[in-house]
């Protein structure tokens, strides 16, 4: 028995199959990532983590500006 079987498909048919497979993969990846981020945003909204992050960033900016006042003069 031979190790490789001869494929009886034309190049056009192979191109069309690969092209459609690529489109399906791209569409699936886009929908999947969109769903993931939608669920992630919903969970963050329920946890009320955004005010905590905002206060944390505000404190960091305040600290940096207090210790580097020359940053304000630019």
Express each pLDDT in 6-51 by its tens digit: 667 888 999 999 999 999 999 999 999 999 999 988 887 777 666 7
- Closest residue by Cα to residue 34 from 42, 24, 23, 46: 42
> In the prediction, which pLDDT does 27 show?
97
Q: What is the DSSP letter of 51?
A: H
Asked if 65 and 71 count as a contact pair (C-beta separation under 8 A), the reply is yes
Q: What tens digit of pLDDT does each residue of 19-30 get?
A: 999 999 999 999
Kind and range of the H or E run holding 34: helix 11-47
Taking the C-alpha atoms of residue 65 and residue 68, their distance in angstroms, rounded to an integer, is: 5
What pLDDT, on the 0 to 100 scale, is given for residue 56?
A: 84
Residue 49 to residue 56: CA distance in whole angstroms: 11
């Amino acid at each position: 028995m031979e190790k490789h079987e001869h494929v009886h498909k034309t190049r056009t048919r192979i191109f069309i199959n690969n092209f459609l497979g690529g489109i399906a993969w791209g569409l699936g990846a886009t929908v999947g990532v969109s769903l993931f981020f939608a669920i992630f945003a919903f969970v963050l909204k329920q946890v009320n983590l955004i005010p905590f992050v905002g206060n944390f960033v505000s404190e960091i900016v305040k600290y940096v500006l207090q210790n580097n006042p020359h940053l304000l003069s630019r």
